[in-house]
Every structure is written in C-alpha cells, then in structure tokens.
C-alpha cells in the first residue's frame, strides 16, 4: 500500500467525523492538516477555531476512533493547533482592485453606522466618484434594505456581480446567509468566508469601496482589516459616554492594526423641533468632538437626529437622496467631502 493511498484513506475516514457544533465534517471545515503515517502510526493535526474549544475532547475521540478503525493502523496521534487570526503580519492583504477602501465602524450597534455608511457611499457617488459598498455586518446586514435593493446578486463568469442602487454597487455578506438563520460562524470561519467573498466579487475598479463593518472589535472587523489594505476608518458614535467608551476601544484596535482613523462622526447629535425650532441635545452633545481631541483623531462632524433619516433608511431612499436639503443630509454630505479630501491629501503626500 503506498503512503499516499493510506493518507487518502485517513482523510476519507476523517471526512465522516462531524464537528459537533458546526455540524460539518472536519475535512470540509479544513480542520485536518499534516497527515503522516509512520510505521502504522497515523499522525495528524486538527486545527481548532479557538484554543478554548469546548468540543476538543469529543472531536479527538471520534477522530481517533474513525482512524483506528482503518485496517493496519496500530496507533493514532492527534495534535491540536488553534488558528486564531490575530497577528496582522500572518495574514496577507488581498488586492481586489479598489483604489480606496474606507471602513465605517462603531464601538456598538444602533448608533447609525449603517445609515452613515449608506449615505456616505451615495454622497461620494453623487459627487461623481465610482463607489462600491460592502455590507460586512454579518450580524445585522441591513444595508440592502436601506439602499432599496431587493434583488440578489447573480454570477457572471464565476464572479459575483454587485447590485446597483442609487449609483452605488452594493454587495452584502447578508446575501450569503439564509434569512433568519443564526450566524454561528466563529473566528476562522468568518475570516475565510470573508476572504473568499472579497475575492469572488466583481468589484470593478471603484474609486471608493465603503465597508459597513459589524459593531465592536470582533472577528469580522479584525479579519477585514487584515485582509484589505484599508485606506482608513470612519468611526461613528453617539454623544453619550457609554458609546464613547466603546469608541476608544475601536480606535485602539485600528491603531494596533495600523489602519488610519480618518475621523469620528457624532451621530444623533441633537434634535431640532420641527414646530418651534428649539434644539434639544437628547443624548448630550459634544462628546464626539471631545473624544476625538483626546484620542488625537480628526472630528468629521455632527449629524442631527431627524425622522427623515430614519424614514430614508426604512424606505430604501437614503436621506441624501430623499431630502438633500435636510440639515442631517447636508451634514453627511459635508462629512463625505471631508473624507474624500482627507484621502486625496493622503494620496498626494504618498
């Protein structure tokens, strides 16, 4: 029996061992590495998604039993290795042909990250730039709704074609996830899915790729920053202290990843009564600017609370299109110009 054939048999046997949490087999999940056969002793490595994998013992015993059952196997040695993509130097950047990739991030959810990402992309496109928009928030992919896109992308020459909305080419990680299905992907799975996805989409050659990241400093943000050479990140916060505390963590993460912070946006900054014109700082005011100063990053502007912003999101007509004269729309358009200017200055300075 040739060594190769025997290795193939080991892999075949392991392709029947199911990872108890992810319900797929170890081979499909690419968890089996370095199969070697030394004198009837089979050795292989199982790559775990986290060193603290609660299923480790169970996986080990089922894998061992499956291989021991092969004819001529005297013993099995399983080595574990955990692949946590945390060191940016270990993960290569991909070249997907976009001129500038701008991520939109926030310390927590519900602060208007997607709203700003969508309106930023549409503003840049309105100003004549070619823009693609990636909804990378796998936990809450609602950019298609905000862009009024119901259509799912199709494939052409094996490349996924983004869907057009308001002059922007849109792609959502949500298109990959069955509606209503819980997202149980753990770190390395998110990482490989994201990279595969980035590589398979026909992004064209846009001036800007705007990316709506998931909130916080989780795996998906980390993976994206490791996979793309990000031009910079725009951080969205609301004025109150809790949101701001989360923002400093975000900034620290991007600093560590060497992603330039293009600036901070204070969203839901204040409310102007449409009847009496009185301004109310519902969540306090000025925290974004103070924090930007403290963290030594640029402050890009304040976006007021306005029902037209929410209505624009719900109806798929971003406020910069539906109500371009509204103060909130103008604030976002100005932020878009600032972002574009910051990037062009950076490009000029090389």
User: What does the alpha-carbon distance between residue 181 and residue 283 come to, in Å, rounded to a whole number?
Assistant: 34
Count Cβ neighbours within 10 Å for each residue of 281-312 and write b for 16 or more, e otherwise.
eebebebbbebbeebebbbbbbbbbbebbeeb
x/- string (CB under 6 A) for ligand ADP, residues 284-303?
A: -------------------x
Q: Which residues pair with 234 in a beta bridge?
A: 104, 263
309 binds, among Mg ion, ligand ADP, none (CB under 5 to 8 A by kind): ligand ADP
x/- string (CB under 5 A) for Mg ion, residues 103-142?
A: -----------x-------------------------x--
Which residue carries 């936990």 as its tokens?
139
Looking only at residues 277 through 336 of this chain, which bind Mg ion when binding is defined by CB under 5 A? none
306 binds, among Mg ion, ligand ADP, none (CB under 5 to 8 A by kind): ligand ADP
Of the candidates 83, 250, 267, 317, which one interacts with ligand ADP according to CB under 6 A? 267
Of the candidates 309, 320, 333, 339, which one interacts with ligand ADP according to CB under 6 A? 309
Please state, as a whole number, how many other Cβ atoms lie within 10 Å of the Cβ of residue 130: 17
Given the complex with ligand ADP, which of 142 and 217 has the nearer CB atom?
A: 142
37 binds, among ligand ADP, Mg ion, none (CB under 5 to 8 A by kind): none
Of the candidates 131, 190, 230, 268, which one interacts with ligand ADP according to CB under 6 A? 268
Query: Can you read off the two tokens belonging to residue 249?
Result: 């963590």
Cβ neighbours for 70, distance < 8 A, ≥ 6 positions apart: 9, 10, 13, 42
Which residue carries 């910051």 as its tokens?
342
Query: Can you read off the two tokens belonging to residue 265?
Result: 């946006």
Query: Can you read off the two tokens belonging to residue 30?
Result: 């690419």
Q: Which residues pair with 154 in a beta bridge?
A: 161
Give residues in contact with ligand ADP (CB under 6 A).
Answer: 106, 109-115, 142, 267-268, 303, 305-306, 309-310, 313, 328
Give residues in contact with Mg ion (CB under 5 A).
Answer: 114, 140
């Amino acid at each position: 029996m040739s060594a190769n054939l025997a290795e193939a048999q080991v892999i075949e046997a392991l392709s029947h061992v199911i990872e108890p949490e992810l319900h797929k087999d170890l081979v499909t999940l690419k968890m089996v590495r370095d199969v070697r056969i030394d004198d009837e002793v089979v050795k292989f490595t199982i790559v775990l998604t986290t060193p603290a994998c609660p299923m480790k013992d169970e996986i080990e015993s089922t894998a061992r039993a499956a291989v021991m059952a092969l004819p001529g196997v005297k013993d099995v040695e399983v080595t574990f290795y955990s692949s946590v993509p945390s060191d940016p130097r270990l993960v290569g950047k991909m070249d997907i042909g976009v001129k500038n990739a701008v991520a939109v991030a926030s310390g927590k959810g519900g602060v208007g990250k997607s709203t700003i990402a969508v309106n930023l992309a549409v503003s840049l496109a309105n100003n004549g730039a070619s823009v693609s928009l990636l909804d990378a928030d796998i936990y809450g992919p609602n950019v298609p709704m905000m862009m009024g896109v119901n259509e799912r992308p199709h494939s052409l020459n094996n490349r996924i074609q983004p869907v057009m909305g308001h002059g922007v080419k849109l792609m959502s990680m949500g298109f990959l996830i069955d509606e209503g299905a819980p997202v149980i992907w753990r770190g390395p799975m998110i990482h490989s899915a994201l990279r595969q996805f980035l590589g398979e989409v026909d992004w064209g050659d846009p001036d800007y790729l705007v990316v709506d990241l998931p909130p916080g400093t989780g795996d998906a943000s980390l993976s994206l920053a490791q996979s793309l050479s990000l031009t910079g990140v725009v951080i969205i916060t609301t004025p109150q202290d809790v949101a701001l505390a989360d923002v400093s963590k975000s900034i620290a993460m991007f600093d560590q990843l060497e992603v330039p912070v293009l600036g901070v946006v204070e969203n839901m900054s204040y409310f102007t009564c449409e009847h009496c014109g009185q301004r109310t700082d519902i969540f306090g005011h000025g925290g974004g600017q103070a924090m930007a100063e403290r963290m030594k990053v640029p402050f890009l502007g304040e976006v007021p609370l306005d029902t037209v912003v929410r209505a624009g999101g719900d109806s798929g007509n971003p406020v910069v299109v539906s109500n371009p004269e509204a103060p909130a729309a103008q604030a976002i358009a100005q932020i878009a110009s600032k972002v574009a200017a910051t990037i062009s200055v950076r490009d000029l300075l090389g």
